Amino acid sequence: IRSKAIKLEKMEVVSQLAASISHEIRNPLTVVKGFMQLMRGKDISEETKEQYMNIALEELDRACAIIDDYLTFAKPFPEKTEPLHVHHELQKVIDMLRPFANIHGVKIVPTLMPATIKGNGQYFRQCFLNIIKNGIEAIEGDGAVYVAVYVAEKTVTIVVRDEGKGMTKEQLARYGEPYFSTKEKGTGLGAMVSIRIIEMMDGTWTMESEKGRGTTMKVTFHLLLEK
């Protein structure tokens, strides 16, 4: 009974996530539609048209940012829960983020150890994409984001540490709250998605941050003991 209850809860997390994705993407698209309809009006000036166009373009950017936070790795037929090689999955995420890091003048430094857990690869990659990306975005000037894997007897811990600007206590307390963002074009959804995925995979997390020094995120999962 217990395991059934837990399973149901996890299904709920997954369907909640799916429901919020469509909701989040529909919002900016509805705004774009509205402004396109307004632009059809006969007696609107070029200037107003230009304004509407800019709003529509910004909303489309927002829709893209939301897709990045939720669906970067989505496939038409989602992978199931399976053994996940944490080091391989993290390597994929790091390779994918390298160009983004380069643009920001940030180095990604991996220290990866082989470890296997049970989970869904797409979700796992999305989770760490959002966390590492936030680390990169937190760095002003140059600096590094360190990604390390620590294997214990029954658990594996993934540590993402950045040399970024850090967070205040208040900001830290709001980490993962939907729409909380300190960025000009932030969605405030990436952290929420990461946390939901960690919970879905039966993991735990802690975050420490110091203003002006950096942030460390630790995520722990059960090790899959392969026979």
Binding site for ligand ADP (CB under 6 A): 130, 134-135, 138, 162, 164, 166-167, 171, 175, 180-183, 186-192, 215
Q: Which residues of 151-179 are buried (b: 16+ CB within 10 A; e: fewer)?
A: eeeeebbbebbbbbbbbeeeeeebbbeee
Q: Extract the tokens encoding 18.
A: 């799916």
Q: Using the minimum distance from each CB to ligand ADP, give the nearer residue, 9 or 177.
A: 177
Among 116, 134, 215, 220, binds Mg ion (CB under 5 A): 134
Integer Cα distance of 131 and 140 in angstroms: 17
Q: Using the minimum distance from each CB to ligand ADP, give the nearer residue, 167 or 201.
A: 167
- Tell me the Ramachandran region of residue 214: left when phi exceeds 0, alpha when psi lies from -120 to 50, beta otherwise: left
Q: Using the minimum distance from each CB to ligand ADP, give the nearer residue, 217 or 223.
A: 217
Assess 190 for contact with Mg ion (CB under 5 A).
Answer: yes
User: Among all residues, whose Cβ is closest to Mg ion?
Assistant: 190
**Residue 46 — φ and ψ, nearest 5°?**
-60, -40
User: According to CB under 5 A, which residues from 79 to 118 bind Mg ion?
Assistant: none
The three-class DSSP label of residue 218 is strand
Residue in the block written with tokens 């998605």: 193
Q: Using the minimum distance from each CB to Mg ion, give the nearer residue, 121 or 190.
A: 190
Q: Extract the tokens encoding 105.
A: 């003048």
Least distance (Å) between residue 192 CB and Mg ion: 10
Integer Cα distance of 206 and 196 in angstroms: 14
Least distance (Å) between residue 189 CB and Mg ion: 8
Q: Extract the tokens encoding 194.
A: 């990461």
Q: Using the minimum distance from each CB to Mg ion, give the nearer residue, 116 or 134.
A: 134
- Tell me the Ramachandran region of residue 6: left when phi exceeds 0, alpha when psi lies from -120 to 50, beta otherwise: alpha
Query: How far from 142 is each of 101, 162, 176, 209, 212, CA to CA, in Å?
Result: 10, 11, 26, 18, 13
Judged by beta carbon distances under 5 to 8 A according to partner kind, the member of Mg ion, ligand ADP, none in contact with residue 205 is none
Binding piece for Mg ion, criterion CB under 5 A, among 58-66, 111-119, 130-138, 147-155: 130-138
Least distance (Å) between residue 114 CB and ligand ADP: 26
Q: Using the minimum distance from each CB to Mg ion, give the nearer residue, 97 or 117.
A: 97
Judged by beta carbon distances under 5 to 8 A according to partner kind, the member of ligand ADP, Mg ion, none in contact with residue 162 is ligand ADP
Instruction: Catalog residues that contact Mg ion under the rule CB under 5 A.
Output: 134, 190
